[in-house]
Amino acid sequence: MAKVYFVREEISIEIPVGTSVLEAEIQAGLAPDVPCGGQGTCGKCLVKVDGKPVLACQTKVEKDCQVEIPGKKNRGKILSEGFSRKVNFQPELQVKTVWLEKPETGEKKSEWERLVEDVYGISDNKRTSDVDYGCIKTDVKLAGSLYEKRSFNPEWQVAYTDEEILDLRPIVGVHEDSVHGVNSSGEKGDGIFTAAIDLGTTTIVGYLLDGRTGENLAVESRMNPQMQYGGDVIQRANYALEHGTETLSKCVQKTINKILESLIVKTQKAPKIASGRKKVNDQTVNGKTKSAEWMPGVEDIYQVSLVGNTCMHHLFLGIYPASLAHAPYTPAISQSLTLRAADYGIHIHPKGQLLLLPNIAGYIGADTSGCLLALRQDLKDEITLMLDIGTNTEMILGNKYGLAACSAASGPAFEGAKIQCGMRGLPGAIDHVKYEDGKWQYTTIGGEKPVGLCGSGLIDLVAELLRAGLLEKNGILHSGQERSDTFMLVPPQETVFAQCEQNMSEDAQSEKTECLQRNEKNGSGQSRFENDCGVYLTQKDIGEVQLAKAAIAAGIQLLLKKRSIEESQIQTVYLAGGFGNYMSAENAARIGLIPESFVKKVQCVGNIAGEGAKIALLNKNERHEIENAVRNMEFLELAACPEFQDCFVDELGFER
C-alpha cells in the first residue's frame, strides 16, 4: 500500500501500489477532468507528483507521494438539489406495529398466516381458505422465528410492501432527539430509511429519506469512478464491449455503497460505522432485555430507487451494451424494475429492494423518466418543453394530451471535451464572460485563478464574440490578435498555470516537455499547454460549438413538427441538470441553441432526475402513472428522420 497526499485539497488516502494517480484522485472524491477516458490523449489531467508534471492517467503510484493539482480545492460544482413540488405520501414501503399474540387452543392458522392477517388488515370474519396468501411472498426463515419472537416480546414493528414482509423489528426506546420514535401514523419504532440515487455520467448523487415520513434527511455526492474508463457513455459502452461489464458495474456499486454509508453518518445520529444497529440487537436478544439505545446503519435502508441514462442503467445492472452501441440503439430492458438490492452489490437491508424507473427509448433513459416524474408534464394543460443538455441532449415536449421525446447527439463540447481549454465545472473554470465598454470581463467558479472554460462560460464567450463583431454569423473567427483564428481571453501570466511554471525546476520542465511530446504522439494534436497555458478559443472550438448547438436546435424544431406545435404555443421551457442551471438563456438564444422566443419562458429546475428518484419512493401511484406515460409517449429518432440533415445544416450558423 502507498499513501497519496493531495496538497491543495489536504486529503490523504491509502491505495494499492500500482494504482494510477487518476484512480487515486477519484477515490479521494476529487473531480479529475479526463474527457479521453484515461487514454492519455487529451492532456487535461496534468498534475505534479512530487514536483514532477505527469499525466495522472498514465502514471502509477509506486510509493508514498504528494500530488498537486493545478488550481485550488479540486472539487466540482455538483448540483444536488432541484425543482421540488408537494407529493402525497403514499409509499410502497409501509411501517406498522403488530402484536404477536399467543394462539388459542385449537387454532388452525399458522404463525405466518396470523402475521399476514395482522399486517395486511385481513378481517377476522374471513375464513382462512378465502385469503390468497399466495400473493404475499412467504419468508420461511422469518416464519420459523415467529414463536421465539413472540415469546421474547409481543410488540414488533413491521416493514412491508404490498407483496412482501421485509422485516420484523423489535420496538426500542423512544428518544425525542433522535430520528426514531413515533412515526407519522403514531407508530413507535426505530428508524427506517429509503434512499434515492441519481447515477450520472460524471457524478453520483444520493439522498436519504425517512421511510415513515418522507422527510429529506441528508444528501451526498461523489464523482462517477467510471470516468477513468471513458469520459462519455459511448467510450464506456465501447470499453464494456471490449472488456466486459464487471469492472464498470462494480466500481459504481462500490461508490453507491460509500454514498449510502455517508448518508447514514450524516443523519448525525449514527456512529461512523454501519453495523451499529446489529450490535445493539445482538445485546438485546442475548440479554433478553430491551435496549434503550439504537444506532442506525445501512441495513436500516429498505428501498433504493435509482435513475440514470440508458447506458448507465445497463452498465450498473451488468447488461452487455451491444444493443446501445449499434443502430438502432435499442435498450435491452425498458420497463421499470423491482429487484433485490443485494443481488446487484448494494449493501442495505438483506431483503432491501432496488427500484428502477423505465427507460424511454434509445439513450433516453430512466433519468429522463425521473425528470418527467418530477415535472409531471403529462398532467399539465399547458404545453411545456424539457431540455436536459449534455453529450446527449434529451427533450420532452407536450402536455396531458400527448408527449413526444427525442435525444440529440450534441456531443461533449458543453461538458468541456473537444474544446482546447474546455473543462467541467471545477474551481477555476470560467463560468461567465461579458464584453462591456471595450473590456473583457469574466468570473470563475470559486473565485480561483482561471484554468479553463466550462460550458456556461463557453456559451457566453461565443455570444459575446458575436456581439463584439469578432465572430461572423457563418462561424469564422477574426480575433484581431496575433493569431486571428485564436481568441486569447486570459493571457498565460494570469492563469493558475503561470505559478506552476514558475515553481518548476529544470528537471521538471524537461519532464513536462516529454509528457507533452507523448501526448502529441498519442494523437491528441495541439495541446493547450503548448500555447503557454492561457485560456483561449480556437476556430476549431467554434466549429465544435456549432455542431453541438445545431444538433440541439434541430432536435427542438423537429420535435415541434412531430407534435404539430408552434414555438409560440410553448408556455414553459424547463432547463434540467447542472449545465442548464448555470447557462445564460439570453446567450444560448444569441448563438442559436434555443429559439429567442424561449428566453423569457425558461425555468431552471436543477437536478430534477434526482427529485424524480425521490418521488418514486414517496408515492407508488405516481411511479406507476409514469410507467404508463412513458409507454404512451411518442419517440422521434433523429438519425432516422429524413429532414434532420437539412435542419441540422440550417442551424449551423449564428444567424439569430
**All three cell numbers of 471:** 465572430
Please tell me which residue, 652 or 185, carries the higher pLDDT value: 652
- Measured in degrees and rounded to the nearest 5, phi and psi for residue 573 equal -115, 110
List all residues 6 or more positions away from 165 whose beta carbon is below 8 Å from its beta carbon: 115, 116, 119, 136, 137, 139, 142, 158, 159
Is the predicted pLDDT of residue 627 greater than 90, yes or no?
A: yes
Please tell me which residue, 134 or 347, carries the higher pLDDT value: 347
Q: How far apart are CA 105 and CA 29, in angstroms?
A: 61
Is the predicted pLDDT of residue 414 greater than 70, yes or no?
A: yes
Which pLDDT band holds residue 101 (cuts at 50, 70, 90)? confident
The radius of gyration of the chain's CA atoms, rounded to the nearest angstrom, is 27
Which pLDDT band holds residue 557 (cuts at 50, 70, 90)? very high
Whole-number pLDDT of residue 268: 56
- Residues 89, 618: contact at Cβ < 8 Å? yes
Whole-number pLDDT of residue 497: 61
Is the predicted pLDDT of residue 177 greater than 90, yes or no?
A: no
- When mean pLDDT is compared across 104-108, 368-372, 594-598, 645-649, the lowest value belongs to 104-108
List all residues 6 or more positions away from 141 whose beta carbon is below 8 Å from its beta carbon: none
Average pLDDT over residues 609-630: 96
Distances (CA, A) of 525 to 85, 495, 540, 558, 609: 48, 22, 12, 36, 37
Beta strand ranges found along 22-64 (DSSP E): 46-49, 52-55
Please tell me which residue, 499 or 97, carries the higher pLDDT value: 97
- Measured in degrees and rounded to the nearest 5, phi and psi for residue 508 equal -65, -40
DSSP state, 638?
G
**All three cell numbers of 432:** 461567465
What is the 3-class SS of 554-593, one letter each residue? HHHHHHHHHCCCCHHHEEEEEEEHHHHHHCCHHHHHHCCC
Whole-number pLDDT of residue 53: 85
Whole-number pLDDT of residue 112: 85
Average pLDDT over residues 431-438: 94
Q: How far apart are CA 412 and CA 392, in angstroms?
A: 8
Is the predicted pLDDT of residue 253 greater than 50, yes or no?
A: yes
- Measured in degrees and rounded to the nearest 5, phi and psi for residue 218 equal -165, 160
User: Over pLDDT 90: what percentage of the chain?
Assistant: 54
- When mean pLDDT is compared across 155-169, 171-185, 587-601, the lowest value belongs to 171-185
Average pLDDT over residues 581-600: 94
Please tell me which residue, 514 or 408, carries the higher pLDDT value: 408
Domains delineated in the chain: 2-68 (3.10.20.30), 94-183 (no CATH), 193-356 (3.30.420.480), 376-410+552-650 (3.30.420.40), 413-509+531-544 (no CATH)
Classified as helix, coil or strand, 595 is coil
| Burial letters 72-88, b for 16+ CB under 10 A, else e | bbbbbbbbbebbeeebe
- Measured in degrees and rounded to the nearest 5, phi and psi for residue 465 equal -65, -40
Which neighbouring-strand residues pair with 403?
Answer: 398
Whole-number pLDDT of residue 442: 96
Please tell me which residue, 622 or 47, carries the higher pLDDT value: 622
Handedness of CA 390, 393, 398, 404 (dihedral sign): negative
Whole-number pLDDT of residue 269: 54
Average pLDDT over residues 201-224: 92
What is the 3-class SS of 144-168, one letter each residue? HHHHHHHHHCCEEEEEECCCEEEEE
Please tell me which residue, 647 or 146, carries the higher pLDDT value: 647
Which pLDDT band holds residue 522 (cuts at 50, 70, 90)? very low
Angle at 36 between CA 32 and CA 42, to 5 degrees: 85
- When mean pLDDT is compared across 304-308, 354-358, 471-475, the lowest value belongs to 471-475
Average pLDDT over residues 361-378: 96
Average pLDDT, the chain: 83
Distance between start and end Cα atoms, the chain: 58
Which pLDDT band holds residue 273 (cuts at 50, 70, 90)? very low
Handedness of CA 578, 580, 583, 584 (dihedral sign): negative
Whole-number pLDDT of residue 292: 42
The whole-model pTM stands at 0.83
Average pLDDT over residues 69-98: 74
